[in-house]
Chains A and B, each alone.
Chain A
């Protein structure tokens, strides 16, 4: 854990210093330390550089850390309650619901810039929550409501329905395609402190709820029936965990679009290094996910500078080969 936190701190510091306007690392550190009450140091950045630091880089990096933490933590939680290594919050329709919400905002609520509150993230959030709620309602009405496979299949059905609706709306409003796709590809170009404030309560509440369920997630790893024989209602734990993970993911998607792979790569790496207990997987995924996305966003904004590469493209691009390496490593470990 201390190592992971150190990696996150180093990643954030590096990301603060690197960019079109290079800021000296030492001065960045001094400027940050000066904010700490009762600490007096001399030197630091010029007022202009300090403004770049606080108004442009810091909100973006903090937002990247929060979104990364939420996606990784939600992925770990979903894998725990669905006993499926490939489960992540997108599985139950978050992506499709958010996509439809964003498309509707683009098509029917134009002139986004002139509005005091951008409707795209709001409708994306609503769409994501609605889709997962629909998946749950459909999955529970099935013959065996305890079966997680029923829930996953319901997620496929709901996602297909939302995607069909999204395609239809896009057909009718082709002029908004570009804007909607830019949002769907995911990124943090427009990050401001306002968005940090927006996602922070969801991230904190969800994080606390999931961390409190860390032992129950371990109990669920022996299957629903055995968990019930040990006095735990698997259905109730699953509902609470899915609700917490989904709300935080919907908030993350609303501020950053669809950023894939984080919820799968990070928890898997943690599992390989720290074992199967959610007491270690959850906290390590939170910190590791934050570090991962801060670094991925650093690549997104510097690799093709001055142009930006969509963050979702970077995570998929970095993520897929990384995933293969992780799989090969896993196979070499005996047992």
Chain B
């Protein structure tokens, strides 16, 4: 399902943190949001999820989000924050079932179908063996899969991920992102993720949007956006961008002195 914003702007306490964003993601596409801390990546995701007041328009599959109630919106858009709250003694099954909330009657409890969906998600993410474990007993990688499981149980065609792998080591980062990509292909999910690691972002996102001070300053394929000029200007960093023959982009931070050839 496609996603579109039009002149989207957000202000916190009178301070403008997002200026007139025009942003478009095609159905089934993975779009990566990159940019330095405070650029507005998280705010953009939260505005799309309807969690902060904004001006302008957000549309999911050509339906204006402003006309949808919260419940309907959460059937279309699943949002995973950077640091999800995971109550230590809640079981994996209980947590994943929370993802069914948009379908459960307001004062009711889950039905048989909801339990079936949650079971399916646990099986798909190889979590069946953990079903009755408390969240506090899981490792970082397992916990991230469980969090993803709750979002999948929402059965929303749009998945918003805020720094999904920031707490994981490199192996678990790849496993989680591979899983997201498999699910994207399998289920035709549209993915928008804020990412810190530029190399990883270029590996998984077909398209990148570089944000700076609440504005999109560059949009395009990873090769187009991740230039040494862009990264040094907007991240205030010194990097070398290596390009492989297969189109891969590798961003390597280097020390300024070495780059200048000071100590060889």
Binding site for B on A (CB under 8 A): 143, 212-216, 218-219, 221-223, 225-226, 228-233, 275-277, 279, 335
Interface residues of B (CB under 8 A from A): 13, 46, 49-51, 70-75, 78-79, 81, 84-91, 94-95, 98-99, 101-102, 104, 106-110, 134, 136-137, 154
**Given the contacts A231-B71, A232-B70, A232-B101, A226 and B90 also touching, CB distance less than 8 Å:** no
The 9 closest A-B pairs by CB, nearest first: A231-B74, A231-B71, A230-B101, A231-B102, A212-B107, A223-B85, A229-B79, A222-B85, A335-B136
Assess whether A219 is in contact with B137, with CB atoms less than 8 Å apart. no
Residue of B nearest to A230 (CB): B101
Task: Specify which chain A residues have a CB less than 8 angstroms from the CB of B86 in the assembled complex.
Answer: 222
Check A230 against B85 for contact (C-beta < 8 Å): no
Contacts of B49 in A (CB 8 A): 229
B24 to chain A, nearest CB (A): 22
Given A215-B104, A215-B108, A231-B73, is A277 in contact with B81 using a C-beta cutoff of 8 Å?
A: no
Contact B70 A233 (CB under 8 A): yes
User: Which residues from A are CB-within-8-Å of B101?
Assistant: 219, 230-232
Residues of A within 8 A of B109 (CB): 214-215, 279
7 CB < 8 A contacts A-B: A216-B107, A218-B98, A221-B90, A225-B51, A226-B84, A229-B78, A233-B70
Bound together, the chains give a CA A112 to CA B102 distance in angstroms of 53
* Smallest CB gap from A214: residue in B: B109
Given A213-B107, A276-B89; A230-B154 close (CB under 8 Å): yes
Inter-subunit contact A225/B81 (CB<8 Å):
yes
- Closest A residue by C-beta to B98: A219
Q: Is B94 touching A218 in the complex (CB atoms < 8 A)?
A: yes
Contact B13 A335, beta carbon cutoff 8 Å: no
Query: Measured between C-beta atoms, what is the minimum distance from A317 to chain B in Å?
Result: 30
Contact pick for B85, options A216, A226, A233, CB 8 Å: A226
Q: Is the CB of B51 within 8 A of A222?
A: no
* Chain B residue at minimum C-beta to C-beta distance from A228: B51
Q: Which residues of the other chain, A, contact B81 by a CB distance below 8 angstroms?
A: 225-226, 229
Q: Contact at B79–A231, with CB atoms within 8 Å? A: no
CB-nearest residue of chain A to B86: A222
Q: Could you tell me if A335 and B137 are in contact, using CB atoms closer than 8 angstroms?
A: yes
Smallest Cβ-Cβ distance to B136: which chain A residue:
A335
CA distance A236 to B181 in the complex (A): 36
By the criterion CB–CB under 8 Å, are A230 and B137 in contact? no
> Which of B98, B107, B110 interacts with A230 by CB under 8 Å?
B98
A218 to B150: give the CA distance in the assembly, Å. Answer: 14
Q: How far is the CA of A231 from the CA of B104 in the complex (A)?
A: 10
- Total residue contacts A-B, CB cutoff 8 A: 72
- Closest A-chain residue to B101, C-beta based? A230
A-side contacts of B134, CB under 8 Å: 335
Neighbouring A residues of B79 by C-beta, 8 Å: 226, 229
* Min CB–CB distance B86 → chain A (angstroms): 8
In whole angstroms, how far apart are the Cα atoms of A228 and B50 in the complex? Answer: 8
A335 touches B89 (CB 8 A): yes
Q: A129–B137 Cα gap in the complex (Å)?
A: 42
Q: How far is the CA of A222 from the CA of B73 in the complex (A)?
A: 19
Q: Is the CB of B87 within 8 A of A221?
A: yes
Quote the shortest CB–CB distance from B252 to chain A (angstroms). Answer: 35
Also in contact, A230 and B94, with CB within 8 A (given A143-B13, A213-B107, A276-B87):
no
Min CB–CB distance A83 → chain B (angstroms): 9
| CB-defined contacts of A213 to chain B, threshold 8 Å | 107
Which chain A positions have C-beta within 8 A of B85?
A: 221-223, 226
A16 to chain B, nearest CB (A): 36
Q: Report whether A222 and B104 are in contact in the complex, using a CB–CB cutoff of 8 Å.
A: no
Q: Which listed residue (A212, A216, A232, A277) contacts B94, Cβ 8 A?
A: A277
B-chain residues with CB within 8 Å of residue A230 when the two chains form the complex: 74, 98-99, 101-102, 154
Q: Which of A221, A225, A226, A276 has the most C-beta atoms of chain B within 10 angstroms of its own C-beta?
A: A226
- A229-B51, A276-B94 known; 5 new pairs, CB 8 Å cut-off, are A216-B106, A229-B81, A230-B102, A231-B72, A275-B91
Instruction: Name which residue of chain B comes closest to A221, CB basis.
Output: B87
Task: Identify which of A212, A232, A233, A275 gathers the most chain B CB atoms within 10 Å of its CB.
Answer: A232
Give the residues in chain B near A223, CB-CB below 8 Å. 85
Q: How far is the CB of A187 from chain B (nearest CB, A)?
A: 36
**Residues on B with beta carbons closer than 8 Å to the beta carbon of A233:** 70
A285 CA / B74 CA spacing, docked (Å) = 32
Across the interface, name the chain B residue whose C-beta is closest to A227.
Answer: B101
B107 partner residues in chain A, CB cutoff 8 A: 212-213, 215-216
Smallest Cβ-Cβ distance to A229: which chain B residue: B79
A143 to B94 CA separation, bound complex (whole angstroms) = 34
Which residues of chain A are within 8 angstroms of B74 by Cβ–Cβ distance? 229-231
A223 to B85, CA, bound (A): 7
- Counting chain A CB atoms within 10 Å of each CB, which of B88, B99, B107, B110 scores highest? B107
Nearest A-chain residue to B90, judged by Cβ: A276
The distance in angstroms between the C-alpha atoms of A218 and B99, with both chains bound, is 12
A277→B90 CA distance, assembly (Å):
7
CB-defined contacts of A218 to chain B, threshold 8 Å = 94, 98
Q: Which residues of B contact A214 (CB under 8 A)?
A: 109
A276 cross-chain contacts in B, Cβ below 8 A: 87, 89-90, 94
Expressed in whole angstroms, the Cα–Cα distance for A330 and B252 within the complex equals 47
Residues from chain B with a CB closer than 8 A to the CB of A222 are 84-87, 95, 98
| Minimal beta-carbon separation of A292 from chain B (angstroms) | 22
A71 to chain B, nearest CB (A): 24
CA distance A232 to B110 in the complex (A): 15
Q: How far is the CA of A233 from the CA of B50 in the complex (A)?
A: 12
